[in-house]
Amino acid sequence: MTEDLNPTEHMSSADAARATAELNELAGHFDERMNEAQAAIGGDVHGAQRSLLGDAVRRFSHNRIAMLGAIIIMMFTILAIFVPLKGAWNPLYSSQPAKYADYGGEVNKPYSFRHPLGTDDAGRDLWKRSWVSARISLSIALAVALVILIIGVLYGATAGYLGGRIDNIMMRFLDSLYGLPYLPFAIITVTLVRSHWPDAHPLLYMVPALTITTWFGQARMMRSQVLSLKQNEYVESARSQGASTFRTVFRHILPNTIGITVVSIALEVPGAILGEAFLSYLALGVQPPASSWGLMA
């Protein structure tokens, strides 16, 4: 006795119509997905970049710790810009002897309503002075992070993408630089710049001093990322279509390193602030009457 394998004979006409409609709807969704995939494979580079950036923004916005850090940085930046503008008193002004200090000689005073953080031995308000110092310290830290990013990305991406003998030579050169002591080279850099430009802005000698031996890690990290990504199929596809080396690296490889690059550079900012504080403690950093967090420490 044979079974009837045709299930439609046991279905009512309404059930059959409903099943047919569901199948047509699924087929429509499948066609839409296939069209989207074909458009992406067909080279919609701008759309792919927008989706990559949008995905990065979405991930960042859903990361509570990252959002908290961004809010704190924005608050510090806003306070550093606007707090020193309130009131006519100059937080960098120093008067000696103490009886001529601002506010009638209020020297080494504890915190009060007028001076939330008190005053120093020259009668300067430490609250406003700290935010004036934040301008220089944050500027130096961000500039150092930017320079490390540029040098590290260019050096590491070049070594990782070209590979072979060029990669070997560049990495052996980088290994030899790891033996350079940080402090002597920082002192030499600051001394040389100041000897030629005594009135130079702190950025002109602090940024080279803090980046001369600190970009090596960023370069090695970028090299490892490029070595991993250049083996992917979309990179091979770009090469087979005649894309230049510059286009392949900057359009298809580097955008996929944004996440780890942002994290790595973010970690350089506090290190640069501590480095500036250390050099200022040795009287090699920001010089009075300018001020920084390191000079106030």
What pLDDT is attached to residue 148? 93
Task: Please give the distance of CA 257 from its chain centroid, rounded to a whole number.
Answer: 12
30 has pLDDT over 80: no
The pLDDT of 79-87, averaged and rounded, is 70
Joined tokens for residue 46: 């701008």
What pLDDT is attached to residue 47? 47
**Is residue 125 a contact partner of residue 95, using CB atoms and an 8 Å limit?**
no
What pLDDT is attached to residue 12? 62
Task: Give CATH for domain 128-296.
Answer: 1.10.3720.10
**Is residue 69 a contact partner of residue 268, using CB atoms and an 8 Å limit?**
no
Q: How confident is the model at residue 152 (pLDDT cuts 50, 70, 90)?
A: very high
51 has pLDDT over 60: no
The pLDDT of 27-48, averaged and rounded, is 55
pTM over 0.85: no
Alpha carbon distance 230, 247 (integer Å)? 13
Alpha carbon distance 238, 16 (integer Å)? 48
The dihedral built from the CA positions of residue 120, 124, 128 and 130, taken in this order, carries a sign that is: negative
| 287 DSSP 8-state letter | P
Q: How confident is the model at residue 49 (pLDDT cuts 50, 70, 90)?
A: very low
In sequence order, what are the residues at sequence separation of 6 or more whose Cβ sits closer than 8 angstroms to the Cβ of residue 290? Answer: 92, 136, 202
- pLDDT tens digit sequence for 253-272: 888 888 788 888 888 888 88
Sorted by where each begins, the domain ranges of the chain are 13-42, 87-124, 128-296
What pLDDT is attached to residue 88? 44
The pLDDT of 37-45, averaged and rounded, is 49
Alpha carbon distance 28, 170 (integer Å)? 54
Give me the phi and psi of 119, to 5 degrees please.
-125, 160
154 has pLDDT over 90: yes
- Looking at every residue in the chain, the average pLDDT score rounds to 76
Burial bucket for residue 215 (CB in 10 Å: 0-12, 13-18, 19+): buried
161 has pLDDT over 70: yes
288 has pLDDT over 80: no
More confident residue, 101 or 82: 82
Instruction: Pick the closest to residue 59 from 263, 292, 297 (CA basis).
Output: 263
In sequence order, what are the residues at sequence separation of 6 or more whose Cβ sits closer than 8 angstroms to the Cβ of residue 265? Answer: 145, 148, 149, 218
- pLDDT tens digit sequence for 180-192: 888 888 888 888 8
What pLDDT is attached to residue 99? 47
151 has pLDDT over 90: yes
Alpha carbon distance 272, 267 (integer Å)? 9
